[in-house]
Amino acid sequence: MPMLIGGPARIEAAGNKPKLIDEFVGRINSGHADLSIARMRSPGGWVEPGQTPEFDEYTVVLRGMLQVSHRGGSIDVRADQAVVVRRGEWVRYSTPEPEGAEYVAICLPAFSPETVRRDPG
């Protein structure tokens, strides 16, 4: 039987500025460990610590620009574009432009604080 998810759960975000994470599907909101789907809204100038996650992450940018830094440089992902980050790759996400960004992230398996493997602070 289909499962209605009545709304997202707000998740605390890492980074230098407040960022909104609304998890629709995942470990916290729906109890799914195999997949997570979350909408992110990041302000301009936001940067999070680098990470080497144990999950694949598929991100679609809805508004603004998300910068994805990696060992070989960086990728600017703009509205109506997507980026795929494979598990085990080091990345750092940021929204350097003044208007920030809104995007949807899908993680396989689901995101968890234990498996994101953030750089030591």
Mean pLDDT score across all residues of the chain:
97
Summarize the confidence of residues 6-15 as an average pLDDT: 95
What CA–CA distance (Å, rounded) separates 16 from 121?
A: 12
- 121: pLDDT strictly greater than 80: no
Sorted by sequence, the CB contacts under 8 Å of residue 72 that are 6+ apart come out as none
Contact predicate 21/13, CB 8 Å: yes
Q: What is the pLDDT of residues 57-102, one digit of tens each?
A: 999 999 999 999 999 999 999 999 999 999 999 999 999 999 999 9
pLDDT confidence of residue 29: 97
Model confidence pTM above 0.85: yes
Query: 107: which strand partners?
Result: 36, 57
Selection from 51, 46, 41 nearest residue 96 by Cα? 46
